[in-house]
A and B are shown apart, each in its own frame.
Chain A
Amino acid sequence: MSAGGKNYNKDYYGGALMILLGGSAAYAAQSYNIGSLAHMGPGYFPFAVGILLALTGVLIALNAKKTGPGDEAALVGHKHEIPDFRGAACIILGTIAFYFCGEYLGLLPATFAIVFICALGDRSNSVMACFVLAMSMMIVAVVIFWWALQVQMPLVRWGM
């Protein structure tokens, strides 16, 4: 990332996101009975926090204009770019696969699924390497989690 121009955009997006989050939280909180200061309902605190968050969002967006290029980047130090698509997609898919395999097939298939799919996300990994890694993690799963820690998930099951 080079130009400060991008930081402007980032703060606009960031501010907008906060306004959206705070606004919708406050909106949702209105349906929970707000009550009065002396007798607060369940909606009072979320409503107040939501409004504050939206206000902060406005301030962030306003500040984006005033901050000179480079200033913000200097303070944040470690900057993050848009994630690598293949890697991120594989990590997300692997986690989802863990859920479904864990629910319907048991610990071993779930272990294999998450490790194998996540490993495929790294462009330098071969399919064979992913397979070996997933296999060795299955051994870890059996020894540490199933045998030693007695995790409450059967190794293999079928259906519910």
Chain B
Amino acid sequence: MGQALQDLWYGFGIAFQGHNLMWSFFGVLVGNLIGVLPGMGALSAISILLPLTYTMHPVPAILMLAGIFYGSQYGGAIGAILLNLPSHPPHAVTCLDGYPMTKKGKGGTALGITMICSFFAASVGIIVMIFASPLLTTIAFKFGPAELFSIMLLGLLAGSTMSRGSPLKGVAMTLFGLLCGIVGTDVNSGTFRFAFDIPDLSDGLEMVAVAMGLFGIADFLLNVNKMKAITSNTKMRIRDMRPSMAELKEAFWPMVRGTAVGTLFGAMPGTGPTITTFIAYALEQKVAKDPSRFGTGMIAGVAAPEASAHSKTQVDFIPTMSLGIPGDAVMALLLGALLIQGIQPGPQLITEHPDIFWGLIASFWIGNVILMILNVPLIGVWVKMLAVPYKYLFPSAMFFIAVGVFTTQNSLFHIWEVLAFGIIGAVLMVLDFSVAPIMLGFVLGPMMEENFRRALLLSRGDMMVFMQRPISATFVCISLFLLAAVTWSAWRKRSGVSKVAQAIAQETSDAGVVVAK
């Protein structure tokens, strides 16, 4: 404990050195600016600026890249809340309640809540990272394919029952997402699957294209000529982003729960941030007294997923740094940046390069403070974006989407993907499906198949393997319980409460009219 504090002090010393601080600030600023652009997430921001670090000293290089990372992550939340454009898939969940809040004229508050939650969650994540690294690493080692499959099963079920409307449709959308995830080359056998003989599809569908299509283009297709501006409330000032006491109270427990979920999942390699945010959101919905209000602009629906994403991000650095196992694509890129600098991540990193490890931790804290300071004045600018009439906004956004999707792989082929998913999303939404679970299924699909196959290969085809291992069995039991609860409540709903439902229908359609005006 004392040792850790001393090391941390040393880290702060490193991070506060003039040029390190400067690069950290630069990273956060650029990351934030790029993250706000639709279609440009942390992945594209880091890959664009990676070449810049080749000539730099390793410490400022990694500090800058980390700054870009959480800067763009926060920027992505801005796009998700204000424009319903998740540039980073985890923010897809934030759209569900963040965008309705914006439509109600509470976009500033949503951003303020996000900022507080991300700061709180990141701080907790950092503390966990400092003190609990060894513990979390031992738990992470206990996760075999069976455990990973079961936890993904739980995530998928929680995610699909979370979608609004009938849980059945949510399950259908998750399954559709799984099918989308299968597109491409099978890693085990090299077979092309669902690729329609198109070579560009051999690497699978591009995640950014799928997300931008489903949430961006589909939304424009449905709203064009029907919406004048995203919010009529243009008189938003900096003061509006400071949430009221009541709103803070409403956000507090979701924030704590979201942080806990994120911390827990951060330690498990292979569980990406998307599943984390979905589970955090689903958890809020289960805990809430009135789950049907989710999706109409609940503060909890913004606070919990954002908090979980940020704590997960921080804790994610543990497996990346100490085991050399990246949790997701962004971590893999950071790992690559370290390798380019000639630094081998692994258990010996902390002892061999204490300046990097502890400097990084300290710079997280400083970076998050910078992020807060930066965004207080910038928020006015973001909010102004909403006052732009829809007839100018959507063509510009279409351009940003097109370029953003192109830059992910420098391939124009992705334009077809984003267009296809835009149309698919619009058709599904007209048929009253909710598209968010597609994203979850799509991200988890390949990992889920991989672990399913691996687990059954190890058990020689015995399905009981998922029940024999205690951690796995726990997850499977929770999943079954969830399934039973949903079926039961759906059955009960059908046989009696339709009056209440009609009242809600009346209320939401009224609210819809008000918003449209």
Contact = CB atoms under 8 A, between A and B. Distances in A.
Nearest to B402: A98
Contacts of B57: none
Interface in B179-222: 179, 182, 186, 188-189, 191, 193-194, 217, 220-222
A121 B226 CA distance: 12
A153 B176 contact: no
A94 B398 CA distance: 9
B164 A53 contact: no
B493 A153 contact: no
A76 B176 contact: no
B385 interface: no
Interface in A94-121: 94-96, 98-99, 102-103, 107, 110-111, 114-116, 118-119, 121
Contacts of B221: 83, 87-88, 91-92
B403 A73 contact: no
A118 B393 CA distance: 10
Q: How large is the interface on B (under 10, 10 to 19, 20 to 34, 35 or more residues)?
A: 35 or more
Interface string A58-101: 01100100111011111111111111101110111011101100
Interface residues of A, number: 92
Contact of B193 (A13, A46, A80, A130): A46
Q: Which of B169, B193, B222, B453 has the most CB of A within 10 A?
A: B169
Contact of A70 (B172, B178, B430, B505): B505
Interface in B125-161: none
A153 B402 CA distance: 12
Interface string A39-59: 111111110011011001101
Given A57-B172, A86-B225, A46 B395 contact: no
Contacts of B176: 18, 21, 53
Nearest to A57: B172
A46 B179 contact: yes
Interface string B479-500: 0000000000000011000100
Given A52-B175, A60-B168, A118-B394, A82 B430 contact: yes
**Interface of A: prevailing SS:** helix
Contacts of B430: 10, 80-83
A74 B502 contact: yes
Majority secondary structure, B binding face: helix
Given A10-B431, A53-B176, A83-B426, A40 B505 contact: no
Given A14-B431, A72-B165, A119 B392 contact: yes
Contact of B171 (A56, A71, A122): A56
A151 B395 contact: no
A141 B399 contact: yes
A121 B224 contact: yes
A131 B457 CA distance: 60
B399 A38 contact: no
Given A74-B508, A152-B410, A42 B431 contact: no
Contacts of A45: 182, 449, 452-453
Given A71-B501, A74-B508, A95 B398 contact: yes
A77 B295 contact: yes
Interface in B461-476: 461, 463
A152 to B, nearest CB: 5
A128 interface: no
Contacts of A107: 403
A141 B504 CA distance: 45
A42 B178 CA distance: 14
Nearest to B217: A91
B293 to A, nearest CB: 9
B175 A99 contact: no
Nearest to A19: B172
Instruction: Count chain A CB atoms within 10 A of each CB in B168, B295, B390, B509 and give the residue with the most.
Output: B168
A130 B391 CA distance: 9
Nearest to A66: B494
A122 B189 CA distance: 48
Interface in B40-70: 48
Task: Choose among A10, A22, A57, A70 the residue with the greatest number of B CB atoms under 10 Å from its CB.
Answer: A70
A37 B456 contact: yes
Interface in B281-302: 292, 295-296
B350 interface: no
Interface string A2-44: 0000010011011001100110010011001100111111111
A75 B164 contact: yes
B419 interface: yes
B406 interface: yes
B166 interface: yes
Contact of B179 (A53, A74, A116): A53
A42 B452 CA distance: 12
A91 B178 contact: no
A112 to B, nearest CB: 9
A44 B169 CA distance: 23
B231 to A, nearest CB: 15
A106 to B, nearest CB: 12
Given A80-B432, A99-B415, A115-B398, 14 more contacts: A7-B432, A38-B457, A46-B193, A53-B172, A70-B498, A71-B493, A72-B166, A75-B501, A88-B426, A98-B399, A114-B395, A118-B394, A125-B391, A140-B399
27 contacts: A11-B431, A14-B431, A21-B179, A42-B189, A49-B182, A53-B179, A60-B172, A67-B494, A68-B498, A70-B498, A72-B166, A80-B430, A84-B224, A88-B221, A92-B423, A94-B398, A96-B419, A102-B406, A102-B412, A115-B395, A118-B395, A119-B395, A124-B225, A125-B391, A129-B392, A144-B37, A149-B34
Interface of A: 7, 10-11, 13-14, 17-18, 21-22, 25, 28-29, 32-33, 36-46, 49-50, 52-53, 56-57, 59-60, 63, 66-68, 70-84, 86-88, 90-92, 94-96, 98-99, 102-103, 107, 110-111, 114-116, 118-119, 121-125, 129-130, 133-134, 137, 140-141, 144-145, 149-153
3 A-B pairs with least C-beta separation: A87-B224, A38-B461, A74-B505
